[in-house]
Structure 1
Amino acid sequence: MSLRVEQSLSQLLHEALVSLRTLGKRSMLALLGIVIGSSSVVALINIGHNASVDAALIFKDMGTDTLVVQFPPKGSANVPMRTHLDLDAVRQAVPGIAHIGALSLFSGPIVFHGRSVNANFVGSTPDVAAAMRLTLQHGRFLSGFDVNETYAVIGADVAQALSAPGDPLRLGDRVRINDYLFLVVGLLQPQPRAMLMPVQPGESLFLPAEGMRRIYAAPQINNLIIRAAVGQDMEHLARAAADALRAQLTEHDVDIQVPQQMIDGMTRQSRTFAYLLLALGAISLIGGGVGVMNVMLMNVSERRREIGIRMALGARQRDIRNLFLLEAVTLTAVGALCGAVLGMTAAWLYAWLSGWVFDLAAAALPLGVGSTLLVGLFFGIYPAVSASRLQPVEALRDE
């Protein structure tokens, strides 16, 4: 019984391929429409996925356990921010804080052996390194004992810019800022850019917060970096930290950025973008399905006499229906496979031109090929049913 079924399916598939081959250019045009539709679905799903992955990389190195605090003035008054905050009091009031550091920002030229480069000057408290996940290549970071010292920790980009062949900037060298010489006690490793951080470590020179007065007459705290302990509710922690900081401030408010909220919002936006791209691909795929139905209807019209002969020789309605339905599915399956290859190639090329790292979306191939086959099945049903309902006598009268 199973052998008979396999022979029947093999015979139907052979007849379907022969019939599609005889259609010539018409089947090729329908196949082209299916290929374009299928490739559009596969490519657009992958492009949307890669756009989402690339956007998520912005937050990767910052970490979802990090908060960035800003201090906008209350009202319209432009009041300078304080130069000192009691960070220990904040840590005691909010036990979920693992590390907290303050940043005072300024910028200007650094000179080393006659070479000059502009950089960010970051007055920092000792806990900044842990809060910002700074990694040292050589030396150490600033400690609480360095408040009155002219010590500096230099980012990798700044160190490279100040170096020259045969004369690199090393640990223990001194760099000049205005009229002061600062001893280099640490060199940072190169780190990826973290878009939410108020300063990029590689482009910065870190000084003791109290030492900022040597290069800037009125330093003020611009930001706090808070890193939470493991397993904390970041929104709850942000509210508690804001309350603790407001208790020390009178003329400034507290604005805390919660990365997880931004990630969730970006995820929703990326999902909407992916749905839009998928809808565009589906429209293209439906257009290909209409082409398949048109070809199959013309095929039925031209083979009315053949259908009549088959029925006269004993073919049942379901045999005729299955024959034409298999032709439609076969045409669609070939288009789906070709479209999958073309779509993956297009998505990879788009990612390469955009500077993204290509990442294959898990749903791209199953959804692209599966939706194409369903479209072919849907648009092939009507021609197949129409062929199966022809009356043998009427079909045999056709010349």
Structure 2
Amino acid sequence: MGRRAWLGLLGVAVGCAAVVALLNVGHSAALQSRQLFQGMGSELLVATLQRDSETPAMTAQPPQLSAVSPLLISAAPLAMAPVEVRLGAISEALMVTGSTPALATVLDLTADQGRLLSEHDAHNAYLLLGAIAAQQLQASVGDQLQLGRYLFEVIGILGPIGYNPLLPVAVDDGLLIPLQAMRRLSSAPQISAVVALARDSQSVRVAADELAGDLRMQLPGAEVEVQVPQQLLDGMASQARLFSWLLAGLGAIALLVGGVGVMNVMLMSVIERRREIGVRMALGARPVDIAWLFLLEAVILASGGAVLGSMVGVLAAWLFAWLSGWDFALDPWSIPLGVCSALLIGVFFGLQPALAAARLQPVAALRDE
């Protein structure tokens, strides 16, 4: 039985390792997603503005955002347009965003070179380059970039801020110009979003409601929807739980396969040890004693597989997180669930061979060759 026992133990270990590894991978993935969204800033608000065909086009004249709400530190409108940008022989299709100097406060923008836009630049053909866009164009402060028919002077290159899935524009990949300068690129530039920064995370939802109400008043006919990072975090938490249980179900299937291996091992053991069972019964062992003997052997196999599988599962999950560049986080429920499920599988699949051994007749078992 030795070799078959090891195979059964390995079957349970593989199943338990799958459960533990998949639960921890799901937990680490959820943690990574939460960190990504939390990096957006829990006080950030993004209001998207849409209009129907009957509503007149909204021009680049911004709403009075300075008086929106005392719960906001600052707010900035966004007007965006794709533009072909040229610098010498280099040409790139980039997204140009028109906004006010308040955008630097909302998004915590800094200039690696040059300076940021100020209120005095409102009517000037100045622009800021995102970190990645500056590399693509090989531009520096003082260069003249051609945007459509106009030349804009680079007065600053922004420091990288990273990708923010909540924002409607990737700052690192684009250009920033004064909001009024958008009229040089489009006859009727349209404000499509407003980004704002709340004073604290506790008042974000109240500030979002006030921002939406005030924008609806200032921009009649526009559909206003305000997004809050916390809403995304709540959705991510719900999806993470569902994802973890889905992975646990896949691991449970592997564990069932290991349980079938344990049952086969124990059934073969009963067949090979019929004479031993007969001798034990002849010496006074009761059927329940025989059943407990084989059931205990199945539990020992499952326990060994559970311990081995738990260690392998944690190691596999850590290796996956390391290769993915994630921070590994141990799911506190992964090991208890993996071990308990492995033990239950061992008891369940070991019960039938144990009952088969207990039903053997002593005389028939002793006569078996």
Match of 1:97 among 60, 66, 72: 72
How does 1:369-388 map onto structure 2 within 5 Å? 369-384=339-354, 387=357
User: Residue type of the partner of 1:49?
Assistant: H
* Residue number in structure 2 paired with 1:77: 54
Contact 2:127 2:154 in 1 (8 A): yes
CA 1:358–1:394 in 2, change beyond 3 Å: closer, same or farther? farther
Aligned-pair distance for 1:225? 0.4
Secondary structure of the structure 2 residue equivalent to 1:196: coil
Q: Which amino acid aligns with 1:125?
A: T
Distance 1:177 1:297 in 2: 79
Judge conservation of contact 1:134–1:201 (CA < 8 Å) in 2.
no
The equivalences for 1:97-176 within 5 A come to 97-163=72-138, 169-176=139-146
Once the two structures are TM-superposed, the CA of residue 85 in structure 1 deviates from its matched residue by 0.7
Residue in 2 that maps onto 1:52: 30
Instruction: Output the CA distance in 1 between the equivalents of 2:142 and 2:193.
Output: 29
Q: CA deviation at 1:262?
A: 2.3
Give the distance between the partners of 2:353 and 2:311, measured in 1 at CA.
Answer: 29
Q: In 2, are the aligned partners of 1:50 and 1:356 still within 8 Å (CA)?
A: no
What's the Cα RMSD here? 3.1
Aligned positions of 1:233-382 closer than 5 A: 233-312=203-282, 320-321=290-291, 323-340=293-310, 343=313, 357=326, 359-362=328-331, 363-382=333-352
CA contact (8 A) 2:262 2:350 kept: yes
Aligned-partner Cα distance in 2 for 1:361–1:112: 50
How far is the alpha carbon of 1:38 from its aligned partner? 2.3
Deviation at 1:387, TM superposition (A): 4.0
Measure the CA separation in 2 of the matches of 1:115 and 1:278: 51
Unmatched 5+ residue regions in structure 1? 1-19, 164-168
Instruction: Name the structure 2 match of 1:30.
Output: 8
- After superposition, the C-alpha distances for 1:297-328 in whole angstroms (9 at most, x for unaligned) are 33224323213334555767776555423421
The answer to whether the 8 Å contact 2:322/2:328 transfers is no
Equivalents in 2 of 1:284, 1:247: separation in Å? 59
Given that 1:61 and 1:192 are in contact with CA atoms closer than 8 Å, whether structure 2 keeps it comes out as no
Task: State whether residues 62 and 132 of structure 1, in contact with CA within 8 Å, keep that contact through their aligned partners in structure 2.
Answer: no
Amino acid at match of 2:221: E
Distance 1:139 1:325 in 2: 77
Give yes or no for contact 2:98–2:179 (8 Å, CA) kept in 1: yes
Instruction: After superposition, give the CA deviation of every residue in 1:254-310 in whole Å (9 maximum; x if it has no partner).
Output: 111222222212321232232122123223312322331232133224323213334
**SS of corresponding position for 1:172:** coil
Percent identity for Structure 1 against Structure 2: 45
Q: Could you give the per-residue CA deviations for residues 120-164 of structure 1, whole angstroms, max 9, x where no partner exists? A: 21111111112123233223321222212232211011110121x
Q: By how many angstroms is 1:51 displaced? A: 4.1
Q: What CA distance in whole angstroms lies between the structure 2 residues aligned with 1:81 and 1:69?
A: 15
Q: Count residues with an aligned counterpart.
A: 367
Greater CA drift, 195-204 or 342-351: 342-351
- SS class of match (2:297): helix
